[in-house]
Amino acid sequence: MSSKRPANTLLASLARPLAAVGKLISGGDKPAAETITLPRAVTEPDSLLDDSFTLALEGLLTEGTSPDQIKLQLISLVEFHEAVGTKWPRIRDKVMLIAEGVINLHLGAGNVFGRQGEDFFVLLFRTVPAAEARRRAVTIAQALGTRLLGDQFDPGNRPLALAAEISLEDALGLGGTLDPDKLAGAIGEVRAVLAPAEDPRPPLQAPEEAKPRKTGDPGWMTLESNGPSRAAEPNWRAMDKDGVLARSDFDLPPAMPSDAALSLLWRPSWVAAGEVIGAYKAQIQRVDRLGDTPLEGCRAYPADGGETALVLDRFATGALVRALRAAEEAGTRSMAILPLHWATINSPKRMAALAALADLPETIRANRLVFDLFGLPDDLPVSELNAVVQSLRPLCRDLFLRVPLSHPRVERATRCGVKVVGIDLSELPPSQYTDDSHLLRTLADLRSETDAAGLGVYAWGIRRRAVVMGTVHGGFAMINGPGLMKDLERPAKVLPAPRARFGK
């Protein structure tokens, strides 16, 4: 970012149709803007950052801020750089100017950035909390990835721009200056998670037994008929004379092995507003060994989430993006629900799981994508949860919080501005498995509590027909589960589902 650069050069680059970048990449005719003479950017990997950035950094250190408390946000175009190959030298300056414009749009007053090397930037946020800085970096990466994705260029499912975080202490070299290799290493950690082909572990491929089930027509059940007896469900057993039930497979799995197979199905969800099957929830399936019964949904995650949560959520996000893009082309306008584990969104590598969303048009994210946060610690401070909620809001239409049935802590959701909370019956511990009538009374208590707080409430994973009817007629905003409809291979269209169809 030279101080001698003409002021109108950046504006001209931003105003230029972004399809011109696609033409450059695909080898098409050069646009008229190609004749503009641009100053050559600094390309040496060990070049100094801009003076304004350096002075700002020195100012923080002079004020006594410890280097380990100063977080640098990195925006990298290395994926785009490698994707265009030999065309990079010809389009580099124009691309980097576009990147500067996008960064300036989201940076905010009082914050600075500098260009490092030939394909990434270092951002220093001085006026906002760390959580907001990370949110803005993710927003910049997503906006930049969308800007660079021309109609004539498809990088597959890999994002074009990456965001990463590193402390100043970890970024400094022996001479007390920023070490380009350490900055590149922080980006490399994100790339390692995003690029299984570069990982020493074999790529995750589903064997025949783990591929999505062929479901065909979802086939509405006749809810008035008698369903199968509990004795036909091998995973259930009576615990006492009152009919309380428990499952024998409650223990959550360990960390996922490197050769596990993953697939994704879609769980149709009933939406009270409009009385339709209008949303489809991403349902992960994990098979650790050939022939094992798939671990589904939240049951695929270890108790603490760990690195497994990051891998599962990255896989689910990538599959969701592909499915929504295909649905858009097919004219499907249903809503998609993406479950995200707390271990993922609270991780420094969260961008690895969210980066694929940059390939979704903003109109889809803003109108048809919902995040369903689960795995929240019981002792999670409201301030920490609120910071995460606010950082995710620009990426989706709405954000749900999954809560425990025994202690939903509705006030925590209201203080974070969340409008919908709910439960997943698959998460219930053995002590909370019960018969239909007692479960419906407990769900009614939850709905009363959410109604008093002005919140909507959902219930996932309903298996029995009586509970389906009870929640549909009991004021729940959304429900899903095998008791409603079978899982599908891809999101389907919005289907009419009036309450009358569920009996009385």
Q: How confident is the model at residue 283 (pLDDT cuts 50, 70, 90)?
A: very high
Predicted local distance difference test score (pLDDT) of residue 48: 34
Q: For residue 425, is pLDDT > 60?
A: yes
Q: For residue 270, is pLDDT > 60?
A: yes
Higher pLDDT, 123 or 236: 123
- Environment class of 385 (CB within 10 Å of its CB; exposed 0-12, middle 13-18, buried 19+): buried
Count Cβ atoms below 10 Å from residue 201 Cβ, excluding itself: 11
Q: For residue 151, is pLDDT > 50?
A: no
Using CA atoms, how far apart are residues 64 and 85, in angstroms rounded to an integer?
44
Q: For residue 442, is pLDDT > 90?
A: yes
Helix (H) / strand (E) element for 340: namely strand 335-341
Q: How confident is the model at residue 429 (pLDDT cuts 50, 70, 90)?
A: confident
CB 456 within 8 A of CB 477: yes
Going by C-alpha positions, the residue among 276, 253, 307, 250 that lies closest to residue 429 is: 250
Tokens 């390309």 belong to: 43
Q: Which of 99-103, 127-131, 205-209, 309-313 is predicted most confidently?
A: 309-313
Going by C-alpha positions, the residue among 328, 403, 415 that lies closest to residue 369 is: 328
In the chain, what are the domain boundaries? 7-198, 252-497
Using CA atoms, how far apart are residues 433 and 230, in angstroms rounded to an integer?
13
Mean pLDDT, residues 461-476 = 94
Predicted local distance difference test score (pLDDT) of residue 245: 34
Using CA atoms, how far apart are residues 144 and 97, in angstroms rounded to an integer?
11
Predicted local distance difference test score (pLDDT) of residue 14: 25
Backbone angles phi, psi at 304, to 5 degrees: -100, 5
Chain-wide mean pLDDT for the chain? 77
Span 201-247, pLDDT tens digits: 333 333 333 334 344 444 444 344 334 333 333 333 333 333 333 33
Least reliable range by pLDDT among 164-178, 242-256, 476-490: 242-256
- The token duo for 493 is 């269209």
Residues with Cβ within 8 Å of residue 225, at least 6 apart in sequence:
none
Handedness of CA 313, 314, 315, 318 (dihedral sign): positive
Residues with Cβ within 8 Å of residue 99, at least 6 apart in sequence:
75, 77, 121, 144, 161
CB 370 within 8 A of CB 335: yes
Could you confirm whether domain 7-198 is CATH 3.40.50? no
Position 428, amino acid: L
Position 501, amino acid: R
Residues of the chain with pLDDT > 70: what percent?
75
Residues with Cβ within 8 Å of residue 222, at least 6 apart in sequence:
none
Q: How confident is the model at residue 462 (pLDDT cuts 50, 70, 90)?
A: very high
Predicted local distance difference test score (pLDDT) of residue 104: 85
Predicted local distance difference test score (pLDDT) of residue 308: 95
First to last CA, the chain: 68
Q: For residue 472, is pLDDT > 50?
A: yes
Q: For residue 248, is pLDDT > 50?
A: no
Q: What is the pTM of this model?
A: 0.55
CB 330 within 8 A of CB 490: no
CB 350 within 8 A of CB 133: no
Higher pLDDT, 297 or 430: 297
Span 361-389, pLDDT tens digits: 999 999 999 999 999 998 899 999 999 99
What is the CA 38 to chain-centroid distance, rounded?
37
Count Cβ atoms below 10 Å from residue 339 Cβ, excluding itself: 25
Predicted local distance difference test score (pLDDT) of residue 280: 97
- The token duo for 437 is 């009538």
Q: How confident is the model at residue 474 (pLDDT cuts 50, 70, 90)?
A: very high
Q: For residue 501, is pLDDT > 90?
A: no
Q: How confident is the model at residue 1 (pLDDT cuts 50, 70, 90)?
A: very low
What is the DSSP-derived secondary structure letter of residue 217?
A: S
Q: Which of 15-19, 135-139, 141-145 is predicted most confidently?
A: 135-139
Q: How confident is the model at residue 52 (pLDDT cuts 50, 70, 90)?
A: low
Using CA atoms, how far apart are residues 18 and 192, in angstroms rounded to an integer?
29
CATH of the domain spanning 252-497: 3.20.20.450
Q: For residue 154, is pLDDT > 70?
A: no
Q: Where are the alpha helices (DSSP H) in 176-304?
A: 180-194
Q: Where are the alpha helices (DSSP H) in 257-381?
A: 306-330, 342-345, 350-354, 362-368
Q: Across the chain, which distance is largest between two alpha carbons, in Å?
A: 85
Handedness of CA 96, 99, 105, 107 (dihedral sign): negative
Predicted local distance difference test score (pLDDT) of residue 43: 31
CB 19 within 8 A of CB 147: no
Q: For residue 198, is pLDDT > 60?
A: no
Span 179-195, pLDDT tens digits: 888 888 888 887 776 65
User: Beta-strand (E) ranges in 49-168?
Assistant: 71-76, 112-116, 120-124, 162-167
Count Cβ atoms below 10 Å from residue 323 Cβ, excluding itself: 19
Q: How confident is the model at residue 9 (pLDDT cuts 50, 70, 90)?
A: very low
